[in-house]
Amino acid sequence: MFLHFGVNTFTDREWGTGHENPAVFNPSELNTKQWANVAAEAGISLMILTAKHHDGFCLWPSKYTEHSVINSPWKAGKGDVVQEFVDAATLQGIDVGIYLSPWDRHEPRYGHDIAYNEYYLAQLQELLNKYKNVREIWFDGAKDPKSQNVSYYFSDWFSMVKELQSSINIFSDAGPDVRWVGDETGTAGYTCWSTINRTSLSIGAPNISQYLSTGDPRGTDWLPAECDVSIRQGWFWHKSESPKRLSELLDIYYNSVGRNCVLLLNVPPNTTGLVSDDDAHRLKEFRSAINTIFSKNLAEDVYIKVSSQRSGEFGPENMLDKDHLWSYWAPSGDDGEEDHWIEVWTNGGGLRFNVIRVQEAIGLGQRIERHEIYVDGKLMIKGRTVGYKRLHRLDDDVVHAHVVRIRITKARGLPLISSIGLHFDPYWHSRITVN
């Protein structure tokens, strides 16, 4: 979950000017425990807060600027949103992340490379010294359109991050740990590799979106993609907007999580300092829908047949257990066979499903380049990469089938399949309108 919150929340803007009076920041009921409760109910594992957006207003009492909560009426200038956020998420067992905007429209040193980068490093150090166990830190290449020649010393920033908190994951266009997927719609490429070449990437550079979306099968760097998208039209809360329909959120889920990516869904707190009831309700519906679809794996109750099996504990039963990382089916590599397949056979009556799930043993790398899925002998899917998780929704509303065949037609080495599933999605092509 991403949480965009700051002066823009109160000025009804997406990008602040940097000239806002800190007095506008005055949430009457700010409650980060409510944020964390909403996140926990939705099954969120990580929450990232905009500690500072482009307007330069800081949600913590930074000693390097007066443009912060220090000069707001909220808690008489004694409050610290970041600390309350970290405490609330930690209490729920949810990891925390921080976004510190490189672009600062308030700071007069912006545009003066050495002076501004020293200022930015000072704030970065302040945050990571004060707030421990940060799981992810979010960087982008946002710049003032009038100062495109300004330089951000990303290598210095990343070095400081790792020095202060070595286990942190750094997100940016070029990683080094997590990469942007290249758009803000929550959609990954139909082909999506976790590998990419960092040397081909430059943070904030134009014309790299397609490469970020697909990754690179010959890439030498492991940078899984993260798909950021907002539950509303904007990133900050606006009274005039409403949350996306459940059907839209499910489309996003299939196109992100279902394409080997992490989904980062923005849920912006409102002017009272709470996640709005509409957003909380939609999130709860979203979680409930995901549970409804995937809690039952129809493949567990049938017979699984495979093209071959490596000797030892690498049988097809591993694809139906609860370990989706280190327990897997491995075909034999001795027969020189390149066409590897899995067949799911019903015990009689036919299966009713419309979603097919395939997962690789991602801890041992991403290998599958192309795959096909046949239902009762009919080719239904011509797919490309799989990765940690691939979800295919069938075009037909509901399928009644006796045999499902998953055929791996091209792979880099032997394909290792950790899990397969057949599921029924009642929301897909539903005759019931889901608002």
pLDDT per position as a tens digit, 182-241: 999 999 999 999 999 999 999 988 899 999 999 999 999 999 999 999 999 999 999 999
DSSP secondary structure letter of residue 428: T
Q: Within 13 Å, how many C-alpha atoms sit on residue 7's CB side?
A: 26
- How many CB atoms neighbour CB 98 within 10 A? 24
Altogether, the residues listed in the chain come to a count of 435
Round to whole Å and give the CA distance between 287 and 93.
Answer: 18
Round to whole Å and give the CA distance between 356 and 189.
Answer: 18
Contacts of 378 (CB under 8 A, 6+ apart): none
Q: Flag the least confident range among 59-68, 81-90, 335-344.
A: 335-344
Average pLDDT over residues 27-53: 98
pLDDT above 70 as % of the chain: 97
Average pLDDT over residues 30-54: 98
Return the structure tokens found at 74: 């909220």
With 50 as the cut, is the pLDDT of residue 431 above it?
no
With 70 as the cut, is the pLDDT of residue 144 above it?
yes
What's the one-letter identity of residue 82? V
Round to whole Å and give the CA distance between 297 and 118.
Answer: 53
pLDDT above 90 as % of the chain: 89
With 80 as the cut, is the pLDDT of residue 434 above it?
no
Average pLDDT over residues 260-265: 98
Q: pLDDT by residue (tens digit) across 364-376? A: 999 999 999 999 9
Residue 341: what pLDDT?
Answer: 97
Query: Measured in whole angstroms, how far is the alpha carbon of residue 276 from the centre of its chain?
Result: 22
Kindly report whether the peptide bond that precedes residue 22 is cis, defined as omega within 30 degrees of 0: no
Contact (Cβ atoms closer than 8 angstroms) between residue 96 and residue 133? yes
Three-state SS for 211?
Answer: helix
Backbone φ and ψ for 249, nearest 5 degrees, come out as: -65, -40
Burial of residue 229 (CB within 10 Å: 0-12, 13-18, 19+) is: buried
CA angle at residue 264 from 262 to 267, to 5 degrees? 160
Residue 275: what pLDDT?
Answer: 98
CA-based radius of gyration for the chain:
24
Give me the chain's average pLDDT, please. 95
* Reported confidence tier of residue 432, pLDDT bands at 50, 70, 90: very low
Question: Of 434, 94, 88, which is closest to residue 282 (Cα–Cα)?
Answer: 434
- End-to-end Cα, the chain, rounded Å: 22
Question: Of 275, 181, 160, 172, which is closest to residue 229 (Cα–Cα)?
Answer: 181
